[in-house]
Structure 1
């Protein structure tokens, strides 16, 4: 992972910052960098190349689960839902409060620009040093203008207020109880769930009537800690949808994730009836998958607005 970060930096700076190489190896590497011209590749190709390199680094270094990249299949589904929600927008601002390497954020940015043809501004927050560096390099190599914050979102970052928040949330407990105390979703006893805190942070940075699209555990409302999350939601946000992703994508049912769709109150927003609930069919079953997307389209057009 460190080598990848160093290489991406060298590509942009046009020099070699490697240490500990023989002069012959250093010269060889400089020649490789010199032969690479990023202008030969479109931004989506560069994003996918970085994604593949990160995936290899995760596998080789045996890095923890929270470093895992959101697969493009899932990013495409979230982007599809967002395109339907924001189909009439002329401009759109998006924030990811736990952006990781920014693969989800930049994939959705590309997808929405391609499908809607609108001006999109993106912002992201990431606390981990390595992931932030990879995100910053990826955004720069893709020539995307973005506002990135190397911060812990739970520590009250001065992030922008946006039209939509989107995030593949880290799952687990937040270790610093004092930082969580300012959140309505904090646990009464012991550590708080970081994904609950980040949902609250995200929706606090969405405009009135704006949306949040979060990848969360499918059982998010069935845990003992869900009480505080549901209490916070009342009167503040509308639960508009919860769509389970196909079980085949996960090692077991406990690891299954869902797309949670929330909408801030205000600006004419209302609780949709019915709430969009369901489970995506297998991505391999193209006919069933296309039918489910059509049902989402119908729900967005007839019920959500």
Structure 2
């Protein structure tokens, strides 16, 4: 990243942060709620809607006058918004489900997708649990840059605040997207796409009634929401299309995995399971992996061998690059043959 780009990220973050803190103070509300309002007004250009008075209103007016969207590329804007959301999580002590997928992981997923779909003129992506939209927009921007395709984008999110953050982020980055403010498990009429990507929520889904149409639902008690999400997502992939999911490394070692494995047979091929470095997680039990599924049909076949392994430390650039080369070789020789 160039010094110029880093400066632009800092400059846009500074605008967001200073304005958000003014709104937070004058309106006596959370940093997160204030940030959502600020992002909305940055997009619309209507700073009067923030309802600030006195010197605060003048400060914001001056900052907005200095901001020209055309001076920034989408990725610069995304990174600045990401910094502001991370500050909101820290300041407001927000629960874990607001945590943002690290850019390094988004870049790895984007890299693998780019390798598979290089040469395609059209591509469609769906995230059934998009959160703030950071993973989806990071991959979108990477694909635009690396293989020069502008994917059509869809995302689903049930949480009000996260949906607003995502919608504003897409708008500010000038990324057209079809967004659904709904509970994914309640049969959202989402499009059928080439690729689904998601940093899945982990835990139990509380409303058993909504899971009745799912093969991955638990036989007794609540069902794992990440199992249900995987099934929903792959049901919305074209034949031969792919799913990239961040899942617990121990996904197949739980008692509930039996239903998931049963559903997978005949519906999807497990093409890869790549554990992420231990250093990214507080303890071994929290470790996650990138799971690669391919929907049965079209030209899809079971790769042999399946891509299994663990990423080296992201800090070890040489070992990390070597691992990416191994993924490249596997794609060419085993996955795409």
TM-score (norm 1): 0.97
Kindly report which structure 2 residues correspond to 1:109-148, keeping only aligned pairs within 5 A, or say none.
Answer: 109-148=140-179
Post-superposition offset of 1:182? 1.2
Partner SS, residue 119 of structure 1: coil
* Greater displacement, 31-40 / 210-219: 31-40
Distance 2:83 2:150 in 1: 28
2:50 aligns with 18
Residue deviations 1:147-187 (CA, integer Å, cap 9, x gap): 11111110000000000000001111111111112111011
Aligned residue pair count = 304
Kindly report which structure 2 residues correspond to 1:31-110, keeping only aligned pairs within 5 A, or say none.
Answer: 31-110=62-141
**Unmatched segments (≥5 aa) in structure 2:** 1-31
Partner SS, residue 131 of structure 2: coil
1:173 aligns with 204
Post-superposition offset of 1:190? 1.1
* Greater displacement, 130-139 / 282-291: 282-291
Partner SS, residue 178 of structure 2: strand
Distance 1:144 1:12 in 2: 12
Higher helix share: 2
2:217 aligns with 186
Residue deviations 1:248-278 (CA, integer Å, cap 9, x gap): 0000001100000000000021111111000
Post-superposition offset of 1:86? 1.1
**Unmatched segments (≥5 aa) in structure 1:** none
Distance 1:78 1:60 in 2: 29
2:226 aligns with 195
Match of 1:149 among 156, 164, 180: 180
Partner SS, residue 154 of structure 2: strand
Structure 2 residue 255 is matched with structure 1 residue 220? no
Post-superposition offset of 1:34? 2.6
2:40 aligns with 9
Partner SS, residue 258 of structure 1: strand
Distance 1:120 1:252 in 2: 36
Distance 1:97 1:274 in 2: 29
Distance 2:100 2:131 in 1: 8
